[in-house]
Amino acid sequence: MKVIKSTIFKRRKCEFGNFELIPENGWKISQSFIDFESRLLVVSESDENEENWIDTGFGSRTIPNKEHKIDTKTGDILTFKEWSKYFSYETTELISEDEKFKLITTRVYEPERNSDGIKEKLIELNSDRELSSSDSIAFRKEKRENLLESLYRQEREILKRKAELDAIPTLATFFEQEYEKLTQGEIILDYFNSEFLFKLVYNKSSFELYKVHSKYQYNLEWDSLNYKTFNSFKTIQNFADEFLNDKDWFLNHTAFNRKQDGSKTNQLLKKFVVDYFNSIREKHNFTFEEYNKIQQWENHFYEHDSVKPKEYKQYCANCKEQVSYSPRYPKHICNNCSSKTITDENGIELSFSNIGMSGGLRIEYKKDGEIIKEDTSQWQKLCFIEGKRFIATEARFGGIVIQTEK
């Protein structure tokens, strides 16, 4: 890269000073910023010739890159010897104000990058245990957060989130809050089946169910529909008991939102719906296709942080122990079950991992604990745990998920 400075005969200027940045032929400037600590200009240029890009083996490539440090006052490209005068390369130790931690920091020159890095260790003083370490780039546009600052920030965020979660109501409390909000004539639920449209309305301390013979369409003329009274319930519990009594209610009926602005109607029924589906998830008496309908109903009542996350329950598809709620994988098994012996249909032991950082499914076949074969050609694999059939696949955001076959 060249820096062409202004002369009395020709003025040159960029956003950083009276000079122009000219990348090497075949290269381009990919990044430029003022370093927060030194106020030096840091410029990176990258090779545009794809033939020079390096295949990492994980479905991605590394682009050759060069980094330059420039004095904006003079326009000079600095060598390490020149820019090193702006920094200290001595190891420093910082004790936290509460005297619980020690941060050890060293700035180092990395000749392979022609740049500097920061090496850190965070030590717990009471036990002399290393809590964490990092090796990061030194030149930054924004102030760098060290390991000690990161630790305290994370602790503050955890406390803040805990306070937020503590303030979120349970399903029971949420139900009480929604009941108190009821207004005369309010629609509690709009839903339909193959023949009728239904609406449940709060009316004079009771709940009236109306229906009309009509197919659901998004652009229906609602005012022209002649709803007739179909049933009446003294309490919302009475309606829920009757409506949910049919085990196929969520398959035969679909909820919809009539409000044009997308806002939710009163969610009085949320408690009953979530409790019902929690019971189904515990018994695992649903198919993947049926779970799509379950999700439609739960999404109809979903509002971010309206109830505590733990109110949504899910259970291991093998041992039935409670696991983290994961609507994307409703039949996944727990960590304990996934650590059990896994075999293929011939009894050969299997283990699974991602192919690389980009994901993929790697299947390892083992004999006496030793890998005898690897396979990366499949996107899913039938496997057996304690004689039961499961399917292993790569998870959407990395890792492996094992679910029942059906």
How far apart, in whole angstroms, are the C-alpha atoms of residue 181 and residue 264?
A: 13
How far is the C-alpha of 17 from the C-alpha of 41, rounded, in Å? 10
Is 189 in contact with 256 (CB distance < 8 Å)? no
What digits encode the pLDDT tens for the residues 104-126? 999 999 999 999 999 999 999 99
- pTM of the model as a whole: 0.73
DSSP labels, 2-61? EEEEP-SSS---BTTBSEEEEPPTTEEEEEEEE-TTT--EEEEEEE--GGGPEE-SSS-E
- Name the percent of the chain lying above pLDDT 90: 87
* pLDDT over 90 (residue 245): yes
Local confidence band at 264 (pLDDT 50, 70, 90 cut-offs): confident
d(CA 170, CA 83): 58
SS3 236: helix
Q: With the C-alpha atoms ordered 109, 112, 114, 115, is the resulting torsion angle positive or negative?
A: negative
* Domain map (residue ranges) of the chain: 2-84, 92-167, 172-311, 314-404
What pLDDT does 261 receive?
65
pLDDT (tens digit, 9 = 90+) per residue, 25-62? 999 999 999 999 999 999 999 999 999 999 876 667 89
Closest CA relative to residue 29, chosen from 10, 11, 16, 18: 16
CB atoms within 10 A of CB 324: 13
Give, to the nearest 10 degrees, the angle between helix 270-283 and helix 171-180: 160
Provide mean pLDDT across the span 12-27. 93
Beta strands in 241-379 (DSSP E): 254-256, 314-315, 322-323, 349-353, 362-367, 370-375
pLDDT of residue 260: 67
Give me the pLDDT at residue 16, please.
94
Strand order in the sheet with 27-34: 27-34, 41-47, 65-71, 76-78
Q: What is the rounded CA–CA span in Å between residue 60 and residue 357?
A: 9
Rounded Cα distance, 352 and 363, in Å: 5
Listed range (53-57, 71-75, 94-98, 307-311) with the worst mean pLDDT: 53-57
Which of 213-222, 235-244, 299-308, 322-331 is predicted least confidently? 213-222
pLDDT at 159: 97
What's the DSSP call for residue 85? G
Q: What's the distance, Cα to Cα, between the start and end of the chain in Å? A: 60
Question: CA-based angle 249:303:180, to the nearest 5?
Answer: 85
Mean pLDDT of 199-224: 92
The pLDDT confidence band at residue 258, using thresholds 50, 70 and 90, is confident
pLDDT at 396: 87
CA pair distance 218, 261, nearest whole angstrom: 14
Q: Which amino acid is at 338?
A: S
